[in-house]
Amino acid sequence: MKFAGAAVAAVVIVIALLLVVGIPSGFLTSTIASRVESATGYRLSIDGTTRISLWPTLNVTLNDLTLQDPKDRSGITRLTVDSVQADMSLSSVWSGRPKISELIVTRPVLYQPLLRERLPNAGASSKPLALDTDGTTIDRVKVTDGEVAFARVRDRVESRISAINADAVVGRDRNVSITGTARVGEHPTKFDIKATTPAPPTDRPTIPVEFAIDMPDVLKSRLAGHAEMRLSGDLVMINGVNGTLGDGAFNGWASVDIASKPLVKVDLDFQRLTIPLAKSPDGASGQPWSNAPIDVSGLNYVDAQIRISANDAVIGDARLAPLALDAKLAGGVLKAGTANLGAYGGQVSGEVILDATSGAPSFAMHSDLVGVRALPLLQGLAEFDRIDGKLQAKLALRSAGTSQRALMANMQGTAFVNFQDGAIRGINVAQMIRSLTSGTLSGWQDNQNSGQDQSTDLSQLSASFRIDKGQAVTTDLNLIGPLVRVTGAGTIALDTKMLGFRVEPKLVMTTEGQGRASEPVGFGIPVMIQGSWSQPRIYPDMAGMLDNPDAAYAKLREMGKGLFGPDGAGLGNILGSLGLGGTTAPGGGNAANNANPQTQQPGRTICSAARWARRSAI
């Protein structure tokens, strides 16, 4: 901002002197530079040609200008301009008060260093610019292909605001209208700013400002409002902020200290705050985590204190109310926390710490969720719609890495989740267990019957995990429902999206079992769930069954017709598919085989196979 004001003042001074002395010689050029430095505090050099033309109007063109801060020994902080053209009327020049009808600035580039630390007393000696333009006025300023380049050579960090095209019109009563477009990083931006400049002289001017900003990639809706901006040396204070973001109104204040490393302070209260999240492409759950680099290095070059509150907040498709978020960014470490955040009938509290000071950023988080309805929260934040119920969770996680995959592979910590009085949507666990009598299952068997709503009612689904190097291990998986019980243990590989579980399912053998006191009957054979998250293989663990074949057979006999049919005949399909059978269900084979009923009982075949396996091992 200081550079922009100094640049305009410098150009006006140069043009005024040129109109008096003509094309400058080397001596006069140094005189002009001295005059500019005295008025603005910045050093001007004109390295290109200078031209005065009388046709079609009086105009002055300057080429290859550079404006520098003489106190900056590094030479990084500077403004370069390819050319400046000023059009004016001859009569205004003769009057001694030149009136510039249009000032065209082509390819201005402001180079600004990125600082990791705030310099002590950096703004102590700052003073307002002495913009004595000898009555010269400007009606219009046009900027073409401008740029602001931020860089820190030591860190090999660079960012840009490029393709700046702006048109500033100065109307009556010092009203200024600035419209234009730019590209902030990779995000196209459109802006419309209206302000009223104070009448000179003024030490700490207060400027009423109206603004409208469109940044579709980031904001999704227009940010518009008005405020009062006050300049006090290197401190920009923005008071009385009132505006709208989409259909939500907000108010508050902000300030920016630009003496060295910027310090931004923001306090905004929204009636409704909408923060969009990118939608995952179809099939993303089965795709590996991205190895694309995650760059948060920009957090090292600005400090901030931010407080955001909202009566109603929508993050992705999840609705949170009320929201109160406090964040502090200092020295490349961001801390953000919230307490008693309202979410779907429950509350969420937690804190996230992101450390960007090293090459591989690290994060740590802890969060407590109490009584939150799971389905709308998980569907809105993570597009996960498989589980509904009241959710209680405790998370304490940390990791480091420069990509999604690296973050998942380095994950450490603990997690406890407990869903109550809900359902597993799209999956009928009881039917899956029954389907195991005919062979191995591929995938979760979700909605196999399009005409039937597949789901599993649950009273509780809980598990606690210890996570080390991306491997989440649990020994207390517990599913309790009216028709099914499942306990088990296993590992979820967060980095590869794979899982391996060994579970013990039990079934209530009648649909009337929900209101009965009878205990569910065990499957008798452990079940393995292995493979990818989206399409695991689910099959009986015959090795586990062989550890105690007599007990397994007793369980199968107990289950009887409810699961395997008469004498457990359906189990023959499993044995055949795993190469341990060779028997045929009663009524399904030849007369010779049916002559000996003992050979038709799969449980006895299991026992024989187990004993044979043991003898072979010995």
Give residue 2's pLDDT: 59
pLDDT tier at 517, thresholds 50, 70, 90: very low
pLDDT in tens, 537-558: 888 776 655 566 666 555 555 5
Q: pLDDT per residue over 65-77, tens digit each? A: 898 888 777 778 8
pLDDT computed for residue 465 by the predictor? 94
Tokens 């960007």 identify what position? 356
pLDDT, residue 564, reads: 46
User: 569 with 585: CB under 8 angstroms?
Assistant: yes
Stated pTM of the model: 0.78
Q: Which residues pair with 267 in a beta bridge?
A: 253, 307
The stretch 436-459 carries a mean pLDDT of: 64
User: Residue type for 101, please?
Assistant: S
Written as six digits, the tokens of 390 are 């009241």
pLDDT in tens, 308-327: 999 998 887 778 888 999 99
How many CB atoms within 10 Å of residue 450?
7
Q: What is the mean pLDDT of residues 507-528?
A: 60
Q: DSSP string covering 86-149, please? A: EEE-HHHHHTTS-EEEEEEEEEEEEEEE--SSPPTTTTTT--------TT-EESEEEEEEEEEE
Question: Quick one: pLDDT band at residue 191, thresholds 50, 70, 90?
Answer: very high
Amino acid 478: pLDDT: 94
Q: Which residue in this structure is represented by tokens 């004993």?
A: 611
pLDDT: which is higher, 167 or 74: 167
- Using only C-alpha atoms, the chain has a radius of gyration, in whole angstroms, of 36
Q: Is 535 exposed, middle or buried (0-12, 13-18, 19+ CB in 10 A)?
A: exposed
Cα(284)–Cα(279) distance, rounded to whole angstroms? 10
- pLDDT band at 391, cuts 50/70/90? very high
Q: Which residue has the tokens 């300057």?
A: 62
Q: Given a cut of 80, is residue 603 above it in pLDDT?
A: no
Distance between CA atoms of residues 273 and 245, nearest Å: 7
Which pLDDT score is estimated for 446? Answer: 60
Among 384, 448, 452, 460, which Cα is nearest to 419's? Answer: 460
The secondary element (H helix, E strand) that includes residue 404 is helix 404-409
Give the distance from CA 515 to its chain's centroid.
46
Q: What is the pLDDT of residues 402-419, one digit of tens each?
A: 999 999 999 999 999 999
Tens-digit pLDDT profile for residues 556-574: 555 444 444 444 444 445 4
- Tens digits of residue pLDDT in 272-298: 988 877 766 655 566 788 899 999 999
What is the C-alpha to C-alpha distance for residues 474 and 487, in angstroms, rounded to an integer?
A: 11
Give the pLDDT band (50/70/90) at residue 592: very low
With 80 as the cut, is the pLDDT of residue 38 above it?
A: no
Q: At 554, is the secondary structure helix, strand, or coil?
A: helix
Core vs surface per residue 361-388: b (16+ CB within 10 A) or e: bbbbbbbebeebbbbbbbbbeeeeebbb
List, in sequence order, every residue forming a beta bridge with 329; answer none if it has no partner: 304, 334
Are the CB atoms for 129 and 39 separated by under 8 Å? yes
- Distances from the Cα of 184 to the Cαs of 14, 187, 225, in angstroms? 32, 5, 20
Query: What are the backbone dihedrals phi and psi of residue 2, each rounded to the nearest 5 degrees, phi first?
Result: -65, -40
The highest-confidence range among 423-432, 476-485, 579-588, by mean pLDDT, is 476-485
- Whether the pLDDT of residue 382 is over 70: the answer is no
Mean pLDDT of the chain: 78
Phi and psi torsions of 282, nearest 5°? -60, 135
Q: For residues 143 and 41, which has the higher predicted lDDT (pLDDT)?
A: 143
Two structure tokens written together for 437? 């009598």
**CA geometry: angle 262, 266, 267, nearest 5 deg:** 165
Which tens digits make up the pLDDT trace of 83-114?
988 888 877 777 777 788 998 999 999 998 89
